[in-house]
Structure 1
């Protein structure tokens, strides 16, 4: 009968103890245990188990001291014979394990065991001409990973939770832990003392962190234009109202929309509206501009339009823009702190609560990749739009190492595209969109720069006062 599991584990425990004692000066206990464990896994699924401890020990010795067996094979094999006695010498039992046995070891083992084991030698000799090569060398025990902690915009949490991303980072000796927060929260109210990096979703928020922490380094591994998640009936309705230009990727005219919103037009007042006849203002749903970067990007676009399609500069321009755009926020009612919440509601609840949601393009593409979109959902691009530059601010050496990897490692860049972001190589994003049939605009032209850091802060503060 085959050796039972309890005896095998006892024998492997003895093997581990011997190897720990033997190599105590060159390997830690944890390293030895890892090598033994990896060797044992190579025999998972074999029906015959009696030789497993012997072979595990031989493979582990080769890994821990590659020249050991070559230097004195007789001594090594003599030590191996103490591992476990044979329990079944039948030819049929042996045939299941031939692809992993070392012929020279078993020949010497049969002599030591006497006449009862002669059949083993005969069986091995008959099979030797066709036996498989020895298993590949066991990989050395992995070095401990350095944990790097960061606070990130919520739209990037799924990226860091992706096992493929974790695997690439682990190959580079890093394990990442993240906490989500609104980008403006990261820049203004999150205590960064316990973090190794901050990863907001805009250059403005990143600049504020740099100023506050006295950090000059930054990395921008990927970006995402702002977009609007909506539904086909809404596109048709706004096309009839002259606000949307239809197409594979419809275009939303921000200037025409602002003029309509300033008049306080409600959905049920639009001509021919039979698809969404509700008594609510025609608005684009956003997050809270006091905490979230995505809403700050919406403010940047609408303030540009309100300022006669010019970047806002100076107190007079700020006051004028705020007088036109503040109600785009205050008329919404409750808004969430991060972009994750509104987009999840869009995916789950349909157009009833909010027929248009201001999002990162990456959120929509990532949802398409993971088959979360429903028929009738549409990605619409505002004109103009603005790019959200996802920026890593390293707060120590660990954060700096991570920032460099995110920006330069080809696998991490490819995986960023899988999550809907536009990495430094635009072809990666274009391929993902094409593979998943997402109608994106790969070469956006009508893109404006947000106002400078101080101006955007003044505008955000002005909107915050309007809530009161």
Structure 2
């Protein structure tokens, strides 16, 4: 039975008119894109032929985006015989798209959304519902499967795909082995770095196929603004603190370190109490290793632009709120003064996590005794042989897990997300870059091979505040700068 995804109040004739409008705009846009080697009439004929192939589909919401995908394949490859590959028309189980539309949420029905170009030009389509279809989204909605994304035709030139990613993932995308895997699937992927919150607030995403911030809250902001429903979370990383053995000894003597597992943990409640009292390093009893007259503070990134800072804020707000996730205006106002102090007392902070961690690696304990990082950054540095013997990974207790979430903005972006989620080689390479993935055994092999002391199971994890609450807290901190 076909699923009716027409929203209440939307007449079928209006829905059909929107689809025709989207196809006309698609034809015009593709004619401009291929003007150098294809005539407008030729492009129009291919668009209309592809569109006709979907005439029997009962569910129409995502037909325009399917048509675009098919036409680009055909125009790029020059193979006019392959207008609609069976892998596009059918899902992995053999069900047609019309029989089984899928979205980013298991079991959620598709929806119609007008995708007229928004204020940043994220999309040029209008009238097409951007939902995940066929093999590319199956990994998101059907865990345990291992589909292969739709690849370009054999012998075709690689499809250029661009994206914006959190800076901590730049080394992964710059890895030649990663590029080779993408190339084997017919893609040439180019990315540019930005702070994860910056990606969701101010970066111009016009022409990008995907964005890949470092957590679900940052991705959620983009999802809400753009209206897509598909997302992929191929990697995750607990938040941690890069520090040094003498610092851990000082904090332990002050009663702020726990040794419940194989690696030390910072008692975040004790740490917050020291910050609120304005305790300085040279005031710690028996301090002979770091006699510096500055306040005890963890160095972070800028809360206005960076996801790692937002994760720090999430942990701190939980602790200040008497070990409870912040909810409501009263709780927000209660925790804000301490949160503002935690950030403003640091002075200048960088916009992305790569900068502070690089300073930790190169400048040493004098400049950055404690640096808030993704666990993945520390593991990757160990794999690269950049850690010194006195360097230590300290887990905050409690901590949060940052789930690196890719949001596709085009059909090609969907396919890159599916590859990152499903391809065994890419998952293995992600582990070598320090990320935890669904392949837990591979991550264990990497840390064991390189002698990295990490928590095998991160148990003391708290929830990040709801999207609206986190935005309120970040805005409150930003307003105090």
Provide closer, same or farther for how the CA distance between residues 370 and 298 of structure 1 changes in structure 2, counting only shifts above 3 A: same
> In the TM superposition, what is the alpha-carbon distance from 1:245 to its structure 2 partner?
2.1
Is residue 364 of structure 1 aligned with residue 375 of structure 2?
no
Structure 2 residue runs of 5 or longer lacking an equivalent are 1-152
Aligned to 1:354: 368
Aligned to 1:340: 354
Is residue 165 of structure 1 aligned with residue 186 of structure 2?
no
* 2: CA distance, partners of 1:324 / 1:152: 30
Aligned to 2:277: 263
Aligned to 1:189: 202
1:193 alignment partner, SS class: coil
1:437 alignment partner, SS class: coil
Is residue 234 of structure 1 aligned with residue 247 of structure 2?
yes
> In the TM superposition, what is the alpha-carbon distance from 1:141 to its structure 2 partner?
8.7
Aligned to 1:150: 163
Q: TM-score, length-normalised on structure 1?
A: 0.69
Is residue 313 of structure 1 aligned with residue 327 of structure 2?
yes
Aligned to 2:300: 286
Aligned to 1:221: 234
> In the TM superposition, what is the alpha-carbon distance from 1:248 to its structure 2 partner?
4.0
1:422 alignment partner, SS class: coil
> In the TM superposition, what is the alpha-carbon distance from 1:193 to its structure 2 partner?
1.4
Select the residue among 331, 334, 338 that pairs with 1:324.
338
Structure 1 residue runs of 5 or longer lacking an equivalent are 1-139
> In the TM superposition, what is the alpha-carbon distance from 1:465 to its structure 2 partner?
1.4
2:480 alignment partner, SS class: helix
User: Which digits, 9 at most, give the CA deviation of each residue in 1:369-388, with x for residues without a partner?
Assistant: 01010120000100000000
Aligned to 2:460: 446
Provide closer, same or farther for how the CA distance between residues 340 and 162 of structure 1 changes in structure 2, counting only shifts above 3 A: same
Aligned to 1:380: 394
User: Which digits, 9 at most, give the CA deviation of each residue in 1:423-457, with x for residues without a partner?
Assistant: 11222211111111101001111001100110000
Aligned to 2:407: 393
* 1: CA distance, partners of 2:340 / 2:454: 30
User: Which digits, 9 at most, give the CA deviation of each residue in 1:380-435, with x for residues without a partner?
Assistant: 10000000010000000010000000000000000000000001122221111111
* 1: CA distance, partners of 2:334 / 2:269: 15
* 2: CA distance, partners of 1:427 / 1:349: 34
* 2: CA distance, partners of 1:322 / 1:141: 57
Aligned to 1:177: 190
Aligned to 1:202: 215
What is the aligned-residue RMSD (CA, Å)?
A: 1.2
Is residue 409 of structure 1 aligned with residue 401 of structure 2?
no
* 1: CA distance, partners of 2:401 / 2:156: 39
> In the TM superposition, what is the alpha-carbon distance from 1:142 to its structure 2 partner?
4.6
Aligned to 2:78: none
- Flag the structure with larger Rg: 1
Aligned to 1:462: 476
User: Which digits, 9 at most, give the CA deviation of each residue in 1:299-346, with x for residues without a partner?
Assistant: 000000000100000000001111222201100000000000000000
